Amino acid sequence: MGEQLEKIFDVELKPGAGENYVCNLTKPEFAEKMANKMPTEPLPDDQMVEVALKRLDQLRKERKSLQLYLDICVRCGACVKQCHYFLGTGDPKNTPVGRAELLRKVYRAHFTISGKLFGSLVGAQKLTPEILKNEWYKFFYQCSECRRCSVFCPYGIDQAEITMAGREVLNSVGLATKYITQVISQVYKHGNNLGIPEAAFKYNCQFLEEEIKESTGVDVKIPVDKEKAEILYLPPSADLFTNTDTMIGVAKVFHAVGADWTMSTYASEAANFGLFFSYDDIKTINLRVVEVAKKIGAKLVIFGECGHAWRAARQYMEAMNGPLPFKFMNILEYTAELIRKGKLKLDKSRNDDVIVTMHDPCNMARAGDLVEEGRFIIKSVCNNFVDMDRSVIKEKTFCCGGGGGLLTEEIMELRMKGGLPRATAVKEVVESHNVNYLAAPCAIDKAQLPLVMEHYEIPVQVGGIHDLVGKALILEGQEEFEAKKKAEEEAAKAAAAAVPSVCGLCDAEFATMDECCEHAEKEHKISKDQCDLACEPKEGAASAEAAPSVCGLCDAEFATMDECCEHAEKEHKISKDQCDLACEPKK
């Protein structure tokens, strides 16, 4: 462990530091859609305690593990410095045992003989509306359910289950966060967390198909709502809008092996926020997937790069929605298996611009047995891979700081503090090995970690594993297309370089663009890469814009590039700024 990483464990206690981080309360229009039938507004104080205790009693009887965890903790403190939020804030209540004690004290007071007889002498505390609305609501939503503490607990207490129970009790009295309930309500309405309507979802798939065609020359399809398919693929919906290189990489993999696959607009989301809210909603969201898979006759359901999606499927789908007439797996397992069987043509040198390290998503590493597949894939598609310190990877990975339903703006400061341990570990390999790419196979990580890296001024790009796969994967016909495209670009560049030019900074004239660029670099300190800032074709000289051109979308020919651009804008809805996507010099 490096010196910087060691320092984060030397925490100064700051009681009360977590008091100001409060998530916004849900709204009635979101609450009413929840599968757990929670109240749409907080209950009156005179009803709150009775309802909460009834729900807590129900939970401890239904879940024997919860009852066990409430009884066996000896408060040894082994979990304390394993929590990223405690390391970031220093608040004793922001520790796994500190949060659990909020619930455990109430459990002792109302459900144990010792607590009823001796009260505070045995650490018991009777529940009040103020405890629910203040302590419980604040601190059970300052836990990301990452379960790192459980790895270090000598009794194996799963603090995430205690947090989940606390949240379910809060739900029963109408206390839930806007962020989580809004996300879940969008799944019930649109099929995905982002609330992407069916038409927009399909349009984005078509857009990504065009992007792949433009870069590879290969017609890669991203099918949606096929009536029958052997594989149902569930992406995090963010992969269709913000993490598009991940979706492109996955689509290329399916194309390369001729997979019969589809996505569904009814269940267009891998993620399952029920995991952060209620078991009823876990089951209901998973059911959408099961229904679609059965309808299309899928033999295999594949979950995309999303940590908690994988946990919700792996640990709960068969138990809550089974028996299942299909198998399911993670996209990392699928791609790793294809690589091992030699089914993918890969060129590792295409990723030589990056030195990669990997962040293990909590729910993949500690709840999904996915710690080696990602590393195997990265090493298969990249020449340069460096792991972070072994004390903070794999099963001991630190949370990104935004999981557990906490990826919301109003607690951004807490999220940054929670991201400190991961940021410190990344910083060490950036400084020691010049790492410049942080592979994070989880949509929440891809949303949170770029902000964390920027906050702590760590110069590293955050992306998915299949982003790297997509770059290294060579499809049939791609190399021929790339060679042809390169030749055309070189020819166009040569033609442009031969045009008489003038320096716009000093009016000096030159026989070619190359001569002008050399002049600009020497006299005006402008690099050749930015030559167009200084040099331009001499007035009256033939230019690329004046050369005969052809539209690559419909093969129409034009006397000049400008005419082709006008055509592309009118007929193909491509702006003039992106004219080069459609028009090219005629051979």
- Which pLDDT score is estimated for 152? 96
Residues 87 and 420: beta-carbon distance below 8 Å: yes
- Of the residues 175, 210, 230, the one at which a domain ends: 175
Comparing CA positions, the residue from 537, 548, 506 lying closest to residue 523 is 506
Q: CATH code at 463?
A: 3.40.50
Does any domain span residue 185? no
Please indicate, yes or no, whether residues 326 and 307 belong to a single structural domain of this protein. Answer: yes
- Check residue 546 and give its pLDDT: 59
Residue 359 lies in a domain: yes
Residue-number span of the structural domain to which 294 is assigned? 190-340
Residues 411 and 534 in one domain: no
In a shared domain, residues 361 and 308: no
What is the predicted pLDDT for the residue at 571? 85
Q: Give the pair of three-digit tokens for residue 570.
A: 């009118």
Instruction: Indicate whether 195 and 313 sit together in one domain.
Output: yes
Q: Is 10 exposed, middle or buried (0-12, 13-18, 19+ CB in 10 A)?
A: exposed
Number of domains present in the structure of the chain:
5
Q: Examine the domain organization and report whether 87 and 194 are in the same domain.
A: no
Does one domain contain both 331 and 207?
A: yes
Side-chain-facing half-sphere of 45: CA atoms under 13 Å: 6
pLDDT of amino acid 259: 98
In a domain, 183, yes or no: no
Same-domain status, 99 and 85:
yes
> Does residue 574 form part of some domain?
yes
* pLDDT number for residue 11: 87
Tell whether 266 and 335 lie within a shared domain.
yes
Report if residue 181 sits inside a domain. Answer: no
Same domain, residue pair 197 and 329: yes
If asked whether residues 305 and 228 sit together in one domain, one would say yes
Assess whether 50 and 164 both reside in one domain: yes
Strands (E), 506-547: 509-510, 535-537
User: Does residue 180 lie in a domain region?
Assistant: no
**What predicted TM-score, i.e. pTM, was given to this entire model?**
0.85
Q: Examine the fold and report which residue of 120, 144, 175 is the final residue of a domain before the chain moves on.
A: 175
Regions of the chain short of the pLDDT cut 70: 1, 496, 540-547, 577, 587
Which CATH number belongs to the domain containing residue 574 in this structure?
Answer: 3.30.160
> Which of 429, 457, 472 is a domain's end point?
472
Backbone angles phi, psi at 178, to 5 degrees: -60, -45
| 421 occurs within a structural domain | yes
DSSP 273: G
Domain assignment of residue 390, yes or no: yes
| 484 and 529 both lie in a single domain | yes
